[in-house]
């Protein structure tokens, strides 16, 4: 395409010209710290989640380290309008994640508040989730969970707003007897997935697993 001639796609790490559907060049790809987690085994996310809610299985694609390439990739997706980067991350996930006998029933991504969605123009998790849905033949549901409050920087929140955000999520429909794979971009403290997990668990005889693009260790 003519645009590719004048504005070629470049590796986000070293700026080499690369194919339009890539994020990084082959050399920089080797710098990505993939976790190699076992989905049904023990890992740092599973240990943290076990302290917060009943968890089935957990997986993270990459390690999210300060100033690392994985951090740059997530920021490209989340803040620099590289929505289609979610497809590349899903392809990397498919090459490494085997559900074995623990295949979930539904893929559910952490939602944005409608105001935040309007500001950003897209949910950075949707393309990732939809691509995984196609790969693994698992349905997704972007409407199951809704975020109830618009999130501001903590320093800007008054006391009442902080109280409101203690219950930031709710279910939009009833669900029971399902194994939900909850998808987020970065796992840090686990507070977000925990809030959503309890909504799902309290709704009926459900199970929750967690998949994230990266874990902050």
pTM: 0.89
Q: Name the stretches of the chain with pLDDT < 50.
A: 2-3, 153-157, 159, 163
Q: What is the pLDDT of residue 29?
A: 96
Give per-residue pLDDT as tens, 84-137: 899 999 999 999 999 988 999 999 999 998 898 888 888 999 999 999 999 999
Q: What is the pLDDT of residue 117?
A: 87
Does domain 32-215 bear CATH number 1.10.4030? Answer: no
Provide the token pair at 104. Answer: 């979930």
* Domain residue ranges of the chain, discontinuous segments joined by +: 1-31, 32-215
Q: What is the pLDDT of residue 129?
A: 97
CA–CA gap between residue 191 and residue 119 (Å, rounded): 24
Q: What is the pLDDT of residue 4?
A: 54
């Amino acid at each position: 395409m003519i645009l590719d001639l004048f504005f070629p796609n470049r590796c986000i790490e070293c700026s080499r010209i690369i194919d339009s559907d890539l994020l990084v060049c082959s050399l920089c790809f080797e710098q990505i710290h993939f976790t190699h987690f076992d989905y049904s085994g023990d890992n740092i996310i599973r240990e943290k989640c076990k302290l917060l809610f009943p968890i089935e299985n957990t997986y993270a694609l990459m390690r999210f380290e300060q100033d690392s390439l994985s951090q740059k990739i997530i920021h490209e997706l989340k803040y620099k309008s590289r929505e289609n980067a979610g497809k590349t991350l899903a392809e990397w996930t498919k090459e490494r994640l085997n559900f074995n006998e623990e295949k979930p029933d539904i893929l559910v991504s952490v939602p944005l508040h409608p105001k935040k969605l309007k500001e950003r123009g897209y949910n950075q998790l949707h393309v990732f989730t939809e691509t995984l849905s196609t790969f693994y033949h698992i349905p997704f549901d972007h409407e199951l969970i809704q975020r109830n409050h618009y999130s501001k920087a903590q320093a800007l929140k008054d006391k009442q707003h902080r109280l409101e955000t203690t219950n930031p999520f709710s279910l939009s429909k009833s669900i029971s007897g399902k194994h939900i794979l909850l998808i987020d971009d970065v796992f840090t403290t686990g507070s977000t997935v925990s809030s959503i997990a309890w909504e799902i668990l309290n709704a009926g005889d459900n199970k929750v697993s967690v998949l994230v693009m990266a874990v902050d260790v």
